[in-house]
Amino acid sequence: MKKLFLALLAVFSIALVVAGCGGDSKPAANSGDKKVVLKVGATPVPHAEILNLIKPQLAKEGIDLQIIEFSDYVKPNLSLADKELDANFFQHTPYLEKFASERNLPLVAYTKVHIEPMGVYSKKLKDLNPYDPVTEDFRIHLDANESFCEVPENIRQEILNAVSNIAFNRYPDPYARKLCEKAGAYYHVDPKLLTAGNGSDELISLVVPYFLDEGDTMLVAVPDFSMYWFYAPFHKIKVESLQKENSMKTSAEEILQRAKEKNAKLLIFSNPCNPTSLGIGRDDIIKIIEGTDALVIVDEAYMEFENESNSVLNEVENYDNLIVLKTCSKAFGMAAIRLGIAVTNEKLTGILHAIKAPYNVNSVTQAIGCVLFSHPEYLTSCIDALKASRDELYQAVKAMEDKKTEIETVYETSTNFIFMKVKRAKEVFEALKQRGISIRFMNGYLRVTAGTKAENKEVMEALWELIQ
């Protein structure tokens, strides 16, 4: 601050005209001379404040500093060019040079000024942690519940042909109508009840802020998929949780009671659950839907691995508070294309169409999705292969449970992964990473995605060695 004060004092102790080279200069103030008026333009904070600090000292030097405040960054330079000011104090040199060049104005910098750091702080967010997926390069990836099924050559060629016919200079269909027709046929649902999204994540990010007001409460069961409450802080949505006990199960009655206590406007949960691998029966889901006025979102990302009679997909037209989410990332082996689908009644579908981005699902994804849903036989084969792998892995882990005291619980599975509580889970997780194997660590629990036979064999051999 002292250096800045001295620099400003030096500047304002001499005659100063910086608008052009041919203008009239004001004589410098010498001892005994009458006062010199110096008009300086500045933004209120902090530049005018700084000038006001040196104003008394300049008065002693015979300079009457008149500070003209501006609330924008354009008028100070225009006023200087019009000789309404003697100088201004608010900008850095690159901005000045660009401004003067664009408007052909004879403005020159006299001396350097400070540039204050700028901090932007949110009143909504106190803490912000990004979703942190595994990005390291491992030999075996069993952490993200991806499918190990490879698209067969005939379907791959069909996809390439479909993509090659895309008019890349045109925007995609904003409602992904062909895709929804194909998906509707596969799910036996009227296509007009479908909304395609850039993954289920996008659809969740739409519902949370647009169906809830600031200060409203959403209810989640914990543990569950973390993205359900990820978006809530951005919009000042309260999140209440229903903590599952060691059994990792909860009931319709518990959910409804907690929703009533907290006046929840949104209930959201996965069925079957990620990460517990457990499902809720259809009758209980219906109880929840009928027992609350809140919007109920049932994420059926893993329903293909469950008894599909537990799905409530065919109930969406019967209720005004039900949205079902589906995805192509898990059972269908298409995580790369980022395609999720919301299924709900016609009224809510209209709302989703209105609030989503106009072209949220790109043409490539739409084309691939159309091909994918045209091959139900392939999708069935993928599901069967994943179930077989899951069952094989589950039996192997259950056999180890009887031999290893550090394995506290191996939960039943209705998904494509195994969930278990293990002592020293973190150590086991890190040791697997050192061997090039990635699984998921969750606060004392391990989640292992079912892989190929070779991958299952290697991870089981490692677990046998690492777990006591």
Q: How far apart are CA 165 and CA 148, in angstroms?
A: 28
Distances (CA, A) of 466 to 403, 432, 461: 13, 8, 9
Residues 406 and 336 in one domain: no
Residues 289 and 363 in one domain: yes
Q: What is the dihedral of CA 239, 220, 288, 283, to 10 degrees?
A: 180
Q: Is residue 286 part of a domain?
A: yes
* 20-79 per-position pLDDT tens digit: 544 444 444 444 556 789 999 999 988 899 899 989 988 888 889 999 999 888 999 999
Residues 342 and 279 in one domain: yes
Determine how many CB atoms are found less than 10 A away from the CB of residue 75. 15
Q: How far apart are CA 375 and CA 318, in angstroms?
A: 29
Task: Mean pLDDT check: name the lowest of 110-119, 233-242, 260-269, 282-291.
Answer: 110-119
Range 222-231 average pLDDT: 93
Determine contact, residues 218/268, Cβ cutoff 8 Å.
yes
Which residue did the predictor score with more confidence, 16 or 340?
Answer: 340
Determine contact, residues 304/326, Cβ cutoff 8 Å.
no
Residues 194 and 343 in one domain: yes
Q: Is pLDDT of 116 > 80?
A: no
27 DSSP 8-state letter: P
- The enclosing domain of 422 has a CATH number of 3.90.1150.10
Q: How far apart are CA 60 and CA 43, in angstroms?
A: 24
Task: Please name the residues in contact with 239: beta carbons below 8 A apart, sequence gap of 6 or more.
Answer: 217, 218, 219, 220, 229, 232
Task: Please name the residues in contact with 267: beta carbons below 8 A apart, sequence gap of 6 or more.
Answer: 218, 219, 255, 259, 288, 292, 294, 295, 296, 297
Distances (CA, A) of 61 to 35, 74, 352: 8, 31, 68
Determine contact, residues 288/300, Cβ cutoff 8 Å.
no
Question: Domain range spanning residue 402?
Answer: 379-466
For β-strands 340-344 and 194-197, DSSP reports them as antiparallel
Which pLDDT belongs to residue 442? Answer: 94
> Considering all CA atoms of the chain, what is the largest pairwise distance in Å, rounded to the nearest integer?
102
Residues 364 and 389 in one domain: no
Residues 278 and 410 in one domain: no
CB-based burial, 400-436: b 16+ in 10 Å, e otherwise = bbeebeebeebbebbbbbbbbbbeebeebbebbbebe
Residues 163 and 246 in one domain: yes
Nearest Cα neighbor of 159 from 336, 26, 395, 311 is 336
Which pLDDT belongs to residue 21? Answer: 43
Residues 361 and 405 in one domain: no
Which pLDDT belongs to residue 113? Answer: 73
Last residue of a domain, one of 340, 374, 408: 374
Nearest Cα neighbor of 188 from 324, 368, 4 is 324
Q: Which two tokens stand for residue 325?
A: 């989410």
Residues 191 and 339 in one domain: yes
Task: Please name the residues in contact with 169: beta carbons below 8 A apart, sequence gap of 6 or more.
Answer: none
Which pLDDT belongs to residue 31? Answer: 46
Nearest Cα neighbor of 269 from 218, 209, 220 is 220
- The enclosing domain of 317 has a CATH number of 3.40.640.10
Q: Percentage of the chain with pLDDT > 70? A: 88
Q: Is residue 90 part of a domain?
A: yes
Range 322-343 average pLDDT: 96
Tokens 């086991």 belong to: 428
Residues 284 and 241 in one domain: yes
User: How many structural domains compose the chain?
Assistant: 3
Residues 84 and 16 in one domain: yes
CB-based burial, 262-290: b 16+ in 10 Å, e otherwise = bebbbbbbbbbbbbbbbbbebebbbbbbe
- The enclosing domain of 29 has a CATH number of 3.40.190.10
* 362-421 per-position pLDDT tens digit: 999 999 999 999 999 999 999 999 999 999 999 999 999 989 999 999 999 999 999 999
Which residue did the predictor score with more confidence, 109 or 440?
Answer: 440
Residues 156 and 46 in one domain: no
What is the distance in angstroms between the CA of the first residue and the CA of the last residue of the chain?
64
3-state secondary structure of 245: coil
Which pLDDT belongs to residue 19? Answer: 54
Q: How confident is the model at residue 336 (pLDDT cuts 50, 70, 90)?
A: very high
Tokens 């001892």 belong to: 31
* 77-112 per-position pLDDT tens digit: 999 999 999 999 988 888 888 999 999 999 888 877
Last residue of a domain, one of 343, 374, 405: 374
